[in-house]
Structure 1
Amino acid sequence: MSLQYPALCDFLHASVHDRENSPMMRLLSDFSFLTCAALCAQVCKLYRFQTEDQRWLLVREQMSETPLSFSLPKHLLSKLIQEHTDRIQEVKELGDLSPHWDGLRHDVISHCHHLIGCYQETLAELDKLSASLCFKASGSKSDRHLQFVPTNLHSQRMEVTDPDSVWYDVITFGAPADHHQAFKHGGLSRLLSKHTNPSSVFYSQDESSRARELLASVAQLQPLVFGLSEELLSVSLDVNKCDAAFSHQTQQFVHALKDELVRSALLAIHDEYTATCDSSHAHSNGLICENAAANQEGLPSSGQQDSEYDEEEWDRVWANVAKGLNCIIAMVDRLDRPQEVTSPEPPDTNSQNIAVPSAPPASSSSSSCWQEQLLPLVLTLRDCVREAVNKARAAMTFVVLQGALSTTANQGPPHVVQRRHAVFSQALSAVVFGFMLKLHEGLKDQQFLLQLHTVGILVQLEGLLSTYGDELGMLEDMEQSVTDLRGAAFTITEAKTQQPEDLLPTIRGTWFVVEVPLPPETFGLLPRELKDGCLIQVDAVLFNIGINQQQSLAERFGDVSLQDRLNHQSSERLKAYCSSLMDRLPNIDGVQSLPDLLSSLDSSLEARRRKNVEVLWIAATVCRQVNGVRLTSCKSAKDRTAMSVTLEQCLLLQQRHKLSQQSFSSALDSMRRNGCRLDNVQKNVGSRKFAFSSVQLLTFPRLYRPPDGSFG
Structure 2
Amino acid sequence: MEGETPPEHECPAVCDRLHSSVHDKENSPMMRAVLCAQVCKVYRFLTEDQRWLLVREQMSETPLSFSLPKQLLSTLIRRSEGAWRPSPHWDGLRHDVINHCNHLIGCYQETLAELDKLSASSCFKSSSSKSDKHLQFVPTNLHSQRMEVTGPNSVWYEVITFGAPAHHHQAFKHGGLKRLLSKHTNNRDGCSVSYSQDESSRARELLASVAQLQPLVFGLAEELLAVSLELNTEQFVHALKDELVKSALLAIHSQRSASDNNSHVHSNGLLCDNTLRQQASPGQQDASRRDAEEYVEEEWDRAWANVAMSLNCIHAMGDRLQGREHRHQEMTSSEDQIHCALVMTFRTSSSSSSSSSSWQEQLLPLVVTLRDCVREAAGKARAAMTFVVLQGAVAASVAQGPEHIVQRRHAVFSQALSAVVCGFMLKLFGGLEDPDFLLQLHSVGVLVQFEGLLSTYGDEVGMLEDMEVGVADLSTVAFTVSEAKSEQADDLLPTLSGAWGSLVVEVPLPPETFESLPQEVKDGRLIRVHPVLFNIGINQQQSLAERFGDSSLQERVNQQSCERLRVYCNTLTDTLPHTAGIQSLSDLLSSLDRSVQTKKRKNVEVLWIAATVCRRVNGVRLTSCKSAKDRTAMSVTLEQCLLLRERHTLSPRHFSAALDCMRRDGCRMENVQKNVGSRKFAFSGVQLLTFPKLYRPPDGSFGSTH
If the length of structure 2 is used for normalisation, what is the TM-score? 0.84
CA distance in 1, matches of 2:620, 2:154: 19
Separation in 2, partners of 1:181, 1:474 = 11
Unmatched 5+ stretches in structure 2: 277-284, 354-358
- The 8 Å contact of residues 346 and 377 in structure 1, kept in 2 or not, is answered as no
- For the pair 1:658 / 2:649, whether they are aligned, the reply is yes
Q: Secondary structure of the residue that 2:628 maps to in structure 1? A: coil
Matching of residue 92 in structure 1 with residue 88 in structure 2: no
The more displaced of 132-141 and 49-58 is 49-58
The residue aligned with 1:298 is none
Q: Is residue 172–residue 641 contact of structure 1 (8 Å, CA) maintained in 2?
A: yes
TM-score (norm 1): 0.84
Structure 2 residue 678 is matched with structure 1 residue 683:
no
Contact persistence 2:176–2:462 (CA under 8 A): yes
Residue of structure 2 equivalent to 1:448: 437
* 1:30-109 to 2 correspondences below 5 Å: 30-31=25-26, 32-87=28-83, 91-97=84-90, 102-109=91-98
Greater alpha carbon shift after TM alignment, 608-617 vs 1-10 = 1-10
Q: Alignment partner of 2:583: what SS? A: helix
Farther off after superposition, 624-633 or 511-520: 511-520
Instruction: Identify which of 96, 120, 125 aligns with 1:136.
Output: 125
1:640-668, Cα deviation, whole Å (9 max, x unpaired): 11111111111111221222322222222
SS at match of 2:433: coil
**Which stretch shows the higher mean deviation, 665-674 or 261-270?**
261-270
C-alpha separation in 1, matches of 2:251 and 2:271: 18
The corresponding residue for 1:28 is 23
C-alpha displacement of 1:201: 2.4
Alignment partners' CA distance in 2, 1:108 and 1:164 = 58
Label 1:135 to 1:322 Cα distance change in 2 as closer, same or farther (>3 A).
same
**Structure 1 unmatched ranges of 5 or more:** 17-22, 294-300
CA pair 263-482 structure 1, distance change in 2 beyond 3 A:
farther
Judged with a 3 Å threshold, the aligned counterparts in structure 2 of structure 1 residues 330 and 94 are, in CA distance, closer, same or farther, namely closer
In the TM superposition, 1:354-369 aligns within 5 A as: 357=340, 367=350
Summarize the Cα distance change of 1:223–1:634 in structure 2 as closer, same or farther, 3 Å threshold.
closer
Structure 2 SS opposite 1:82: helix
User: Could you tell me how far apart the structure 2 residues matched to 1:6 and 1:354 are?
Assistant: 106
Counterpart residue number, 1:19: none
2:241 aligns to what? Answer: 258
- Secondary structure in 1 aligned to 2:476? coil
**Residue 441 of structure 1, CA deviation:** 0.4
Conserved in 2, the CA contact under 8 Å of 1:46 and 1:59?
yes
How far apart, in 1, do the equivalents of 2:194 and 2:270 lie? 20
Q: Which is worse superposed, 126-135 or 512-521?
A: 126-135
Pick from 524, 527, 538: which aligns with 1:547? 538
Q: Does 1:489 align with 2:489?
A: no
| Counterpart Cα distance in 1 of 2:391 and 2:460 | 35
Partner of 1:186: 175
Q: Is 1:147 paired with 2:130?
A: no
C-alpha separation in 2, matches of 1:635 and 1:303: 59
CA 1:281 to 1:482, structure 2 compared with 1: closer, same or farther past 3 Å? Answer: farther
SS of alignment partner, residue 71 of structure 1: helix
- 1:284 aligned to 261, 267, 291, which one? 267
The 3 A distance-change label for structure 1 pair 3 and 675 is farther
Q: Could you say if the C-alpha distance between residues 339 and 66 of structure 1 is closer, same or farther in structure 2, counting changes exceeding 3 Å?
A: closer
> Please, what is the CA RMSD of the aligned residues?
4.1
Distance 1:314 1:423, change over 3 A: farther
Q: Conserved in 1, the CA contact under 8 Å of 2:15 and 2:44?
A: no
Q: CA separation in 2, counterparts of 1:341 and 1:681?
A: 89
Q: Give the structure 1 partner of residue 209 of structure 2.
A: 217
Task: Label 1:343 to 1:673 Cα distance change in 2 as closer, same or farther (>3 A).
Answer: closer
Q: How does 1:597-676 map to 2 (within 5 A)?
A: 597-676=588-667
The one-letter amino acid of 2:194's match is V
Q: Is the 8 A contact 2:86 2:386 kept in 1?
A: no
Q: Which moved more, 1:35-44 or 1:451-460?
A: 35-44
CA contact (8 A) 2:14 2:665 kept: no
Residue 533 (structure 1) aligns with: 524
Could you tell me which residue of structure 2 aligns to residue 296 of structure 1?
A: none
Amino acid at match of 1:579: N
Instruction: Report % sequence identity.
Output: 67
Query: Contact 2:165/2:413 (CA < 8 Å) preserved in 1?
Result: yes
Alignment of 1:331-410 (within 5 A): 332=317, 357=340, 367=350, 388-408=377-397, 410=399
1:438-517 to structure 2, matched below 5 A, reads 438-511=427-500, 512-517=503-508
Cα distance in 2 for partners of 1:103, 1:27 equals: 64
Aligned 8 A contact 1:327 1:355 in 2: no
- Give distance in 2, aligned partners of 1:652 and 1:271: 65
Give the Cα–Cα distance (whole angstroms) in 2 for the partners of residues 537 and 705 of structure 1. Answer: 37
Contact 1:491 1:514 in 2 (8 A): yes
Match of 1:571 in 2: 562
Whole-Å Cα distance in 2 between the matches of residues 605 and 432 of structure 1?
28
User: What does residue 12 of structure 2 align with?
Assistant: 8
- The one-letter code matched in structure 2 to 1:520 is P
**Aligned CA distance change for structure 1 residues 635 and 277 (closer, same or farther; 3 Å):** farther
Distance 1:387 1:542, change over 3 A: same
User: Is the aligned partner of 1:693 residue 2:688?
Assistant: no
CA distance in 1, matches of 2:258, 2:687: 55
- Cα separation, partners in 2 of 1:365 and 1:121, compared to 1, 3 Å: closer
SS of 1:52's partner is coil
Shift of 1:501: 2.1
Give, as a single letter, the amino acid of the residue that structure 2 aligns with 1:445: D
Structure 1 position 517, deviation (Å): 1.3
CA pair 280-529 structure 1, distance change in 2 beyond 3 A: same
Q: Are the counterparts in 2 of residues 461 and 540 from structure 1 also a CA contact under 8 Å?
A: yes
Q: In the comparison of the two structures, how many residue pairs are matched?
A: 673
More displaced stretch, 322-331 vs 567-576:
322-331
Distance in 1, matches of 2:169 and 2:201, equals 35
CA distance in 1, matches of 2:259, 2:178: 26
State the shift of 1:257 in Å.
1.2
Closer/same/farther in 2, CA of residues 388 and 345 from structure 1, 3 Å limit: farther
Q: Is the Cα contact below 8 Å between 2:175 and 2:462 reproduced in 1?
A: yes
1:321, CA displacement in angstroms? 6.0
The residue type equivalent to 1:591 in the other structure is I
State the distance in 2 between where 1:46 and 1:390 align: 71
For 2:298 and 2:547, locate their aligned partners in 1 and report how far apart those are by CA, in whole Å.
62
Q: Indicate if the aligned counterparts of 2:48 and 2:649 stay in contact, CA closer than 8 A.
A: yes
Tell me: CA distance 1:190–1:306, structure 2 relative to 1, closer, same or farther (3 Å): farther
Instruction: Report the residue type matching 2:57 in the other structure.
Output: E
Kept in 1: contact 2:456–2:545 (CA 8 A): yes
Contact 2:255 2:271 in 1 (8 A): no
1:223–1:530 distance in 2 versus 1, CA, 3 Å: closer
Cα deviations across residues 445-482 of structure 1 (Å, max 9, x unaligned)? 11111111111111111111111111111111111111
Give the one of 425, 429, 454 matched to 2:414: 425
Number of the residue aligned with 1:412: 401
SS of the residue corresponding to residue 456 of structure 2 reads coil
State whether residues 647 and 668 of structure 1, in contact with CA within 8 Å, keep that contact through their aligned partners in structure 2.
Answer: yes
Checking the alignment, whether the CA contact within 8 Å between 1:276 and 1:289 is kept in structure 2 is no
Find the aligned partners of 2:254 and 2:626 in 1 and give their Cα distance.
Answer: 46
User: Equivalences for 1:311-330 in 2 at 5 Å?
Assistant: 320=305, 324=309, 328=313
CA distances 1:493-532 after superposition (whole Å, capped 9, x unpaired) = 2222212222111212343111111111111111111112
Letter in 2 for 1:28: H
CA distance in 2, matches of 1:162, 1:583: 34
Inter-partner Cα distance in structure 2 for 1:38 and 1:186? 34
Q: Is the 8 A contact 1:52 1:660 kept in 2?
A: yes
Q: Structure 1 residues 422-431 or 549-558, which shifts more?
A: 549-558
**Cα 1:666–1:254 shift into 2, 3 Å:** same
What is the CA distance between 1:124 and its match in structure 2? 1.7
The CA distance in 2 between the partners of 1:445 and 1:341, in whole Å, is 67
SS of aligned partner of 2:553: helix
Deviation at 1:160, TM superposition (A): 1.1
- C-alpha separation in 2, matches of 1:375 and 1:67: 64
